[in-house]
Structure 1
Amino acid sequence: MSDHWKQIEKEMESIRAKNLYRQCKVTTGIDFCSNDYLGLSKHPELALAFKNALENETVGSTAARLVRGHRQIMEDWENEFSLFVSSEASLTVANGFVANFGLIDTISDSRTMIFTDRLNHASILDGIRISGAIKKYYNHLDLDHLEEQLERAIVGEDTKSKKKIIVSESLFSMDGDKPNLQRLVALKKKYNTVLVLDEAHSFGVFGEKGRGMAFADLSREEIESIDYRIYTLGKSLGLEGGIIATTKLGRDHLVNRMRSFIFSTASMPAIYAAAIKSLSLLRNMGQERIHLLHIADILRMGLVEHGFAVAPTISHIIPILMDSEEQALYYSAELQKEGLDVRAIRPPTVPTPRLRVSLNATIQESDIRNLLANLIRIREGKKANF
């Protein structure tokens, strides 16, 4: 065995010893872990729209969009989406990771200062890293700390000349909590920064017709002042892809400068046709949104009542905090034996091991009671010594 593979083997042994080993598992049981928040990935009308699109188009796009991969249906989708979220223009890319990563890399350079919530998604942090920008962490949801950082950044003429960008999720994917969006917008205006808001996990669930957290918390003028909003087709829309909503000038700039767009083969054309159908379904799923947040309240209150440690979530994402990686894995395995697909999330993805319960609108109240009963049974069974 070469030195390279010996080093890899040693690293993998260390990962296993720390209970951080990961592997892909086939999905089984009731879905308590995906991001298919409205259950649209299984919707028969969406499946039919995708099937019909396949019959009328090539299966693959065959090239990048700037070569031969572009289709009229792609423009139709982006125009439809832009109208829905009140943006001048939008650009669709392979997935949400590429959207964040590519955007931040495109609008930043080594003289840019990026102020990022400490718990922002890896796609945001990797975009900052690859751009070479100066990274400034602020404590999770602590906008006083953010303002302190901004104040320090404007001291001195040299730092004044640097572009400043604030990046935050509107609903945090692992904690289910959110920032004060009005304050974020106010800070953006006060300190003349660019503001990037990732709406991936709030879209479809919050705001008028599921338009996202910005539409739940902000005025139209405040929404329009956000420079870039990131969405995804891979969560509430039940498909795959990422989409950046911005100005017409901003889209034109990304088309010309965003390397992960320019040099990537375009997504399947059928995705865009299906996305138009999915959006039409999503905007009319008000009852599903009400039900989803209702069962989230039931589960959250039940967990607290029975003494489980729950992160301060306000949403359908409910993290049950665990004392160790081993404990999180044990609970997950026991729940999956009962047909309840709950996954353990461990460092470095999150600072604290947890069960991330991610609810969707197809789950019933009886499923919530079953999950609670099994969590209590596992804890009281004392089958493991943690």
Structure 2
Amino acid sequence: MQETKLKNLTFLSQLPAYFSRLESQKRVRTLDPPTGLDFCSNDYLGLSQNPKLLEALKEGIDLYGAGSTASRLVRGHRSVFEELESEFSNWVHAESSLFLANGYAANVGAISCVADPSYLIFCDRKNHASLMDGVRLSGGKKVYYRHSDLNHLEELLQKYSGHANKMIVTESIFSMDGDSSDLSSLIHLKEKYGCLLYLDEAHSIGVFGEKGAGLSSAQVPSQISNIDFRMSTFGKALGLEGAMISTSSDARKYLLHSARTFVFSTAPLPAIAHAGLSAIRLVKEMDAEREKVLSHSEYLRSRLHKLGKDTGNSSSQIVPILLGSEAIALDLADKLAKSGFQAKAIRPPTVDVSRIRVSINAKVEKQDLDGFIRIIKEN
């Protein structure tokens, strides 16, 4: 639901009128269990239902119990967390990594811990909310640059070139538009103007790069060490939950002792870390699934373009169908659901333009895409 601040002491009494005003904008929860073909989740490789991963999770519960019981700095640490961090670092060619509960906690904790009010933080206009919340909590001054416009970014970097502490924060694959960053150029700007570079790889890990190691391994394999912080999630292509911050050994040590979402939070389930080891090993061998996801995504874009539909600059498994209004997006989502396709309407303020956000996973077949396109064509 669209946010509207209610600041006075009669907050609770205002809520009925607040919900009434925004009735048309209410978000509707999905049925449990979900129905219809999955055209909206982030389970890109279908691993959430993989029998080997399910077995590893059950095994992890037998080995470590149901919960971690405390933060990792108190009593919640298990050696399996460090084993997972080492395995992940080897996979994504990082010096070191730190495991946190989820991507939101990782982004908020890392950015707010590394940056402080002395920083200028240059943010892509379409960065995820977790990135922006990390920036806000850091106290640093945010400076927006136009989405993926690195000429604009350089203009701003030149303007503030005398400022000592600077950070660039962006995503590799953008979660709502499905377009990608130019990582080589970002690294060049980072080096030229003396910035830290923070990269969110949530939607690229498992899908792009050699053995699914992320867009950075695909675009800049020899320059990965120039990316100061990479955040990767286990809750999307890896089928579980949790997230990694991959960085230098010294930076990891600093985060371990200073990132508030790590220090003051109960550790993730050790069983998740145990299953995470299996997820990494499975993902490394899923080249066929990666190829299928990306080729089907390109097929969908091509067919939509022939129908005159706008998919923006999508180049990934995320394919937005940009529409003229919230009403059109909601109506189309409803018709798709009634035809057996689960694809959600995403509306302002989450995005600037209302859309159906389609995300393709490895279980989607070509005939499913054709059926989906028929519904789009009829509407």
TM-score by length of 1: 0.94
How far apart are the structure 1 equivalents of 2:221 and 2:242? 28
* Aligned position for 1:167: 169
- 8 Å contact kept, 1:116–1:138: yes
> Is residue 369 of structure 2 the alignment partner of residue 368 of structure 1?
yes
How far apart are the structure 2 equivalents of 1:148 and 1:306? 38
What is the RMSD computed on CA atoms of the aligned residues?
1.0
User: What's the CA shift for 1:311?
Assistant: 1.4
* Aligned position for 1:325: 326
User: What's the CA shift for 1:154?
Assistant: 1.8
Aligned AA for 1:298?
Y
Unaligned runs of at least 5 residues, structure 1: 380-386
User: What's the CA shift for 1:312?
Assistant: 1.4
How far apart are the structure 1 equivalents of 2:84 and 2:243? 12
SS of match in other structure, 1:35: coil
Aligned AA for 1:373?
R
* Aligned position for 1:304: 305
> Is residue 69 of structure 2 the alignment partner of residue 62 of structure 1?
yes
> Is residue 188 of structure 2 the alignment partner of residue 183 of structure 1?
no
> Which structure 1 residue ranges, 4+ long, deviate > 3 Å from structure 2?
none
User: What's the CA shift for 1:172?
Assistant: 0.3
User: What's the CA shift for 1:3?
Assistant: 2.7
* Aligned position for 2:96: 89
How far apart are the structure 2 equivalents of 1:3 and 1:166? 40
Q: Give CA deviations for 1:20-56 in whole Å, capped at 9, x if unaligned.
A: 2113212211100000000000100000111111111
- 8 Å contact kept, 1:20–1:347: no
User: What's the CA shift for 1:183?
Assistant: 0.5
SS of match in other structure, 2:22: helix
Unaligned runs of at least 5 residues, structure 2: 1-8
> How is 1:277-288 mapped onto 2 (pairs within 5 angstroms)?
277-288=278-289
- 8 Å contact kept, 1:317–1:359: yes
> Is residue 342 of structure 2 the alignment partner of residue 337 of structure 1?
no
193, 208, 211: which one aligns with 2:210: 208
Aligned AA for 1:113?
L
* Aligned position for 2:4: none
> Is residue 155 of structure 2 the alignment partner of residue 148 of structure 1?
yes
Aligned AA for 2:154?
E
How far apart are the structure 2 equivalents of 1:14 and 1:251? 46
User: What's the CA shift for 1:4?
Assistant: 2.1
TM-score by length of 2: 0.96
> Is residue 22 of structure 2 the alignment partner of residue 20 of structure 1?
no
SS of match in other structure, 2:25: coil
* Aligned position for 2:269: 268
SS of match in other structure, 1:68: coil
SS of match in other structure, 1:230: strand
How far apart are the structure 2 equivalents of 1:53 and 1:257? 28
How far apart are the structure 2 equivalents of 1:52 and 1:104? 34
How far apart are the structure 1 equivalents of 2:104 and 2:38? 23
How far apart are the structure 1 equivalents of 2:116 and 2:25? 34
> How is 1:81-160 mapped onto 2 (pairs within 5 angstroms)?
81-155=88-162, 160=163
